[in-house]
Structure 1
Amino acid sequence: MFEYKFEKVIISNGLKERQDNNMEQVEKAIVDHAKDGWRLVQVLVVPKEKAGLFMINYYKIIFEREI
């Protein structure tokens, strides 16, 4: 049996920032959780639903570990 954990990384959208600037936060979350026995399942890119163009709203990171 497994337990699951979900973490949200909000995208900062400053005028001079690219949407991938938050990937360092995603990578840090993965490494930090791995130290506690969590395994990465998937990183979801969640778009802004009301934007006319594809814009990333946040990353949802899914972890699992055996219990």
Structure 2
Amino acid sequence: MAQYEYRFVEIPLSPMTKQADDIKKCKEVIASDAQNGWRLKQVVVPYHERFGLFRAKGYEIIFEKENH
């Protein structure tokens, strides 16, 4: 059975930039890690604890790579 390792990258939302800039940063991280052998597993959008479900805290990008 295959064994995997996981990498977690947090991309915080910046109040000074547009949402499109935050998404562009996520795409850059995904492309860069893919070149290094990581496979995108999931993108999670955790909510901001102080503002509740109506405001995202940022993006948590989860990658996996098979151990050899």
TM-score for both structures, normalised by structure 2: 0.85
> For 1:4, which of 3, 6, 9 is the aligned residue?
6
Residue ranges of structure 1 left out of the alignment (5+ in a row): none
How many residue pairs match? The answer is: 65
- Partners of 1:55 and 1:19 lie apart in 2 by 12
Identity of matched residues, %: 37
- Partners of 1:6 and 1:26 lie apart in 2 by 12
- Note if contact 1:3-1:65 (Cα within 8 Å) is conserved in structure 2: yes
- Partners of 1:34 and 1:20 lie apart in 2 by 21
TM-score for both structures, normalised by structure 1: 0.86
Question: 1:1-67 counterparts in 2 under 5 A?
Answer: 1-14=3-16, 17-51=17-51, 54-67=54-67
In the TM superposition, what is the alpha-carbon distance from 1:50 to its structure 2 partner?
1.7
Structure 1's consecutive aligned runs of 4 or more residues displaced over 6 angstroms after TM superposition are: none
Question: Please, what is the CA RMSD of the aligned residues?
Answer: 1.5
- Partners of 1:36 and 1:9 lie apart in 2 by 19
